[in-house]
Amino acid sequence: MDKLIITVLGKDRPGIIAATAKSLFDLNCNLENVNQVILQNQFSGIFIVLPPPELSLNTVKTTLEKDLADTGIYIHVNLADTAPNGNGKGEGENFIITTIGPDQKGLVAKFTRIIADANVNVTNLRAVFKGGDTPGANIMVYEVLITPDTDQKALFSALRDKAAGLGLDVSIQHKNIFQAINKI
């Protein structure tokens, strides 16, 4: 069987990853990638696994549902699409785009539209909106892969213009520079 992608969602509590990993181990599946995040009190985990050839997708799904039945966790199992990404390029340089400022509806939609229109892929997004009297606590961090054929000047100009129009501070840095600065 091909690789599986397993999504695990629910109210956070200790032991979700342990229970999921144990169930997959008992099925003789190999965990190839795991990424999890907690947003407020909600757990979201994505597991990419390589099951043994004789194991069916349905067996993995029913076993996980049975093993995690008492946790209130939602589980979705599907075949992983391992074809190259949308633009098929996969080559480029990683940049970090950070915006800080007052929260308002549509921020993520507005910035990701600009990024998508430049045919640039968002490889990681972290948005923290705490609102209140501290607009500096509202931060969005986009990691993007910019391919060699991207018009960087036009993209960065569009992002700066949008940020200025929305009253946001924006920072655009090559990932290597961002990491070097943040290590100091």
Structure tokens at 131: 């609102």
Mean pLDDT of the chain: 89
The ranges assigned to domains in the chain are 4-79, 93-182
Q: CA dist 29 to 18, 36, 50, 90, 155, Å?
A: 14, 18, 6, 28, 42
| Tokens 């599907």, located at residue | 78
Homologous superfamily of domain range 4-79: ACT domain (3.30.70.260)
Answer for the pair 100, 169: CB distance below 8 angstroms, yes or no: yes
3-state helix, strand and coil shares in percent for the chain, rounded to the nearest 5:
35, 35, 30
* Percent of the chain whose pLDDT exceeds 70: 93
Tell me the pTM. Answer: 0.75
Please indicate whether the domains covering 4-79 and 93-182 agree at the CATH topology level: yes
Nearest to 111 by CA among 65, 75, 161: 161
Task: Specify the range with the lowest mean pLDDT, choosing from 26-35, 58-67, 85-94, 121-130.
Answer: 85-94
Distance CA 98, CA 125 (A): 10
Q: What is residue 30's predicted lDDT score, i.e. its pLDDT?
A: 95
Length of the chain in terms of residues written = 184
Q: What is residue 137's predicted lDDT score, i.e. its pLDDT?
A: 74
Answer for the pair 75, 64: CB distance below 8 angstroms, yes or no: yes
> Mean pLDDT throughout 103-114?
90
Topology of domain 93-182, CATH: Alpha-Beta Plaits (3.30.70)
The confidence band for 142, taking pLDDT boundaries of 50, 70 and 90, is very high
